[in-house]
Amino acid sequence: MPQPTVVLLPEDEEMETPRQRTAARLGTLHGKVICVVNNGWNCMNLIQDEICRELTGVYGVRSVITRSKPATRPLSTSELDEISRSADAVINGIGN
């Protein structure tokens, strides 16, 4: 005799998601440190250098730090902590 199929449909009322505070917007990029995260998608491999040049040449960013990660995994907690200490803002590359 076949086993019954069980479908789980969580209700919105039962799901609790932590409320996260978003970072304040920067008034300007001039003089800031920006982190560009290359998420491994093909497009980011092609445009990362151009993004960095534009940030420093056009927007006056003091420096750009770059990090890479596999497309299928998030950055580790230690990497996120290091970025939050070093950078004023992050551009997370999403391209394909």
Q: Is residue 20 part of a domain?
A: no
Position 9 in a domain: no
Classify residue 10: in a domain, yes or no: no
> Does the residue 16 lie in any domain?
no
Domain presence at residue 12: no
pLDDT given at position 88: 95
Distance CA 69, CA 63 (A): 20
Q: Is residue 36 part of a domain?
A: yes
- pLDDT tens digits for 50-85? 999 999 999 999 999 999 988 888 899 999 999 999
Asked if residue 17 belongs to a domain, the reply is no
User: What pLDDT digit, counting tens, does each position of 25-35 carry?
Assistant: 899 999 999 99
Amino acid at 89: A
The range of the structural domain enclosing residue 67 comes to 28-92
The tally of domains found in the chain comes to 1
CA angle 51, 54, 58 (to 5 degrees): 160
**15 domain-assigned:** no
What are the angstrom distances between the C-alpha of 11 and each of 16, 25, 59?
Answer: 10, 34, 46
Residue 19 tokens read as 């409320």
